[in-house]
Amino acid sequence: MSLLLQDVRHSYALTEVLGGVGLALSPGRVLALVGPSGCGKTTLLHLCAGLLDVQEGRLDNAFANPALMFQQPRLLPWQTTADNIALGLRARGLARADARAKAHAMGAVLGLDAEALAAYPHQLSGGMQSRAALARALVLEPDLLLMDEPFAALDIGLKAQLHRLLLRHQHDKGTAVLMITHDLMEAVRLADTVLVMAAGPGRIVHLHAPAVPALARDDAMVYHDTAELLRVPAVRAAFGLDALQDPGTCSAAPGAGASIAAPAAPASTALPLPGQRLAALQPGAAPGATRKTSCG
Ligand SMILES: Nc1ncnc2c1ncn2[C@@H]1O[C@H](COP(=O)(O)OP(=O)(O)O)[C@@H](O)[C@H]1O
Ligand SMILES: [Mg+2]
């Protein structure tokens, strides 16, 4: 049971937005796809969710019970928070009382109190709405959770709280997660495998597999790994970082407080090419994958 993509290509009209993407996600693993805006992340996620038809390449999704979390909370304004969380359960035919009970329990796990659960979406803060959207996905106990930049609008404190709650649930339930983000540090904090995408057309240009399990990572390690990734030429190119850099200056890793010397080409640079064989994108199998052996 897994999600497998091989040489997946996608075009809108004559514009190719995905130019041969391969990846694999096994049960209980967390995979983050990180890349700049417009590189095709949402398109890729929608292909995985079956919202778009595969035009070219191979996509096998053997997960039986996937759930999708969108970039915006997308709560129904005329339903209470609890009823919004219960929506998927009701759609599955669960009785209203049972669905509500599960919704309340999951809401509580995610920090929504009775007042918030009885409120309507417009009465909730952005952070509360995100908790509700996450609860609505997790209450379905998905074996695969597909997330499209779900925390992009949150401040770092709220983001950190929801990261923790997500990771705890993911660990306890063994949920597989495919998360799309443009936030490199978020990817490094959450994922077992980080795949960096570049645009024009969208393709995977680098794989990074942190050595320490996500729940055991501390800030220092996340900053260190993020800084390490920001030294990789393919990652820098994907985000257009070098184009912004004045000659002779250094760029700082976000939050790390450290400067990075002008990027030498690390031995770890991986450049999976469009259509590259899937095996090369498995953690540990990519010849040039960055793999930390120790952390701060
Ligand atoms: N339905 C669509 N029709 C035409 N072009 C689209 C459509 N959806 C996305 N695009 C274009 O495809 C490219 C990739 O979009 P998207 O997958 O949303 O990227 P990302 O999520 O990485 O920002 C962008 O240039 C976007 O404008
Ligand atoms: Mg997107």
What pLDDT is stored for residue 242 in this prediction?
84
| Alpha-helical regions (H) of the chain | 41-48, 81-91, 96-109, 114-118, 126-138, 156-173, 184-190, 219-229, 233-238, 241-244
Tell how far the Cα of 16 is from the centroid of ligand 1, in angstroms: 10
Spatial contact of 252 and 185, defined as CB atoms under 8 Å apart? no
**Which ligand approaches the C-alpha of residue 52 most closely?**
1
* Residues of the chain scoring pLDDT < 50: 250-296
Could you identify the atom of ligand 1 that is nearest to the CA of residue 46? 17
Number of CB atoms found within 10 A of residue 77's CB: 8
Q: Whose CA is nearest to atom 14 of ligand 1?
A: 40
Q: How far is CA 261 from the centre of its chain?
A: 29
Q: Whose CA is nearest to atom 8 of ligand 1?
A: 43
Q: What is the pTM of this model?
A: 0.82
**Which ligand approaches the C-alpha of residue 35 most closely?**
1
Q: What are the counts of helices (DSSP H) followed by strands (DSSP E) for the chain?
A: 10, 12
293/117 Cα distance (integer angstroms): 44
**Which ligand approaches the C-alpha of residue 44 most closely?**
1
What pLDDT is stored for residue 155 in this prediction?
84
Tell how far the Cα of 39 is from the centroid of ligand 1, in angstroms: 8
What pLDDT is stored for residue 271 in this prediction?
37
Q: Cα–Cα distances in Å, from 197 out to 28, 156, 157, 167? A: 23, 23, 26, 23
Whole-number percent of the chain with pLDDT over 70? 82
The per-residue pLDDT for range 143-170, each reduced to its tens digit, is 999 999 988 888 888 889 889 999 999 9
What pLDDT is stored for residue 247 in this prediction?
58
210/13 Cα distance (integer angstroms): 38
Q: Dihedrals φ, ψ of 11, to 5°?
A: -130, 145
Tell how far the Cα of 204 is from the centroid of ligand 1, in angstroms: 16
What pLDDT is stored for residue 270 in this prediction?
37
Q: Cα–Cα distances in Å, from 60 out to 1, 45, 47, 87, 196? A: 10, 13, 10, 27, 21
CB-ligand 1 contact for 40 (6 Å cutoff): yes
82/214 Cα distance (integer angstroms): 30
